[in-house]
Structure 1
Amino acid sequence: MPAVRLSDVAQDAGVSLATASRVLNGSTRVPGKAVAEKVQASAEKLGYVANAQAQALARSRSGLIGLVVHDIADPYFSTIAREVQQQVFASQSQVLLTQTDRELETEIRALRSLLAQQVDALVLVGSHRYGTESDAAIGALLQGFERNGGKVVGLGQSLGVGRTIVTDNAAASHELATALVVEGHRRFAVVEGIAGIPSAGDRTGGFVAALTEAGIEPELSTAADLTRDGGHRLAERIHDHLLTAPGPADSPLCVFAPADVMALGALGELRRRGVEVPGQVSIAGFGGVPDAADANPTLTTIALPLAEMARQAVEWALVSAAPEDTPSADRPREVHVRGDVMLGESTALSSAV
Structure 2
Amino acid sequence: MKKTRLIDIAKVAGVSEATVSLVLNNKPSRISQSKKDEIRKIAEEMNYRPNHLARSLSTQKSHTVGLIIPDIENPFFSTLSKQIEEIMREKGYLVFIVNSDDSFHQDIELIRELTDRQIDGLLICPSTESYSNLEQVRNFYHQIEIPFVLVDRVFEGIDFNQVSFDHEYGGYIATQYLIEEGCKEIACFTGGLTTHNGNQRYRGFEKAMNEANLKIDVNAIYDGDYRFETGYKFGKSVLEHNNIDGVFAFNDLMAYGLFKAMFETKTSSNKIKIVGYDNLKQSEMFGLPLTSVEQDINLLGNIACDQLLKQIDDENYKENTVLKPKIAA
TM-score tier (shorter):
0.7 to 0.9
How many equivalent pairs are there? 322
Please, which runs of 5 or more residues in structure 2 have no aligned partner?
Answer: none
Residue 335 in structure 1 maps to residue 326 in structure 2: no
- Which of 273, 276, 291 matches 2:282? 291
Distance 1:202 1:30, change over 3 A: farther
Match of 1:132 in 2: 134
The root-mean-square deviation of aligned C-alpha atoms, in Å, is 2.7
- In 2, Cα distance between equivalents of 1:193 and 1:81: 21
Q: Match for 1:140: what amino acid?
A: H
1:302 and 1:340 in contact (8 A); partners too: yes
1:27 and 1:55 in contact (8 A); partners too: no
Matches within 5 A, 1:174-213: 174-192=172-190, 194=192, 197-213=195-211
TM-score by length of 2: 0.87
1:224 and 1:233 in contact (8 A); partners too: no
Match of 2:81 in 1: 81
Q: Match for 1:276: what amino acid?
A: T
Match of 2:4 in 1: 4
Q: Match for 2:271: what amino acid?
A: Q
TM-score by length of 1: 0.81
Identity %: 20
- In 2, Cα distance between equivalents of 1:208 and 1:34: 70
- In 2, Cα distance between equivalents of 1:28 and 1:269: 63
Name the SS for the 2:200 alignment partner: helix
Moved over 6 A (4+): none
Match of 2:300 in 1: 309
Residue 40 in structure 1 maps to residue 40 in structure 2: yes
C-alpha displacement of 1:70: 0.9
1:277 and 1:297 in contact (8 A); partners too: no
Matches within 5 A, 1:1-353: 1-24=1-24, 26=25, 28=27, 32=31, 33-125=33-125, 129=131, 132-136=134-138, 138-142=140-144, 144-145=145-146, 151-158=147-154, 160-192=158-190, 194=192, 197-219=195-217, 220-239=220-239, 242=240, 245-247=241-243, 253-271=245-263, 273-319=264-310, 326-327=316-317, 332-343=318-329
Distance 1:259 1:209, change over 3 A: same
Distance 1:164 1:46, change over 3 A: same
More moved, 39-48 vs 29-38? 29-38
Distance 1:20 1:322, change over 3 A: closer
C-alpha displacement of 1:15: 2.5
Q: Match for 1:59: what amino acid?
A: T
C-alpha displacement of 1:337: 1.0
The C-alpha deviation readout for 1:123-160, integer Å capped at 9, x for no partner, is 12356549822334531343x22xxxxx2222224453
- In 1, Cα distance between equivalents of 2:284 and 2:153: 25
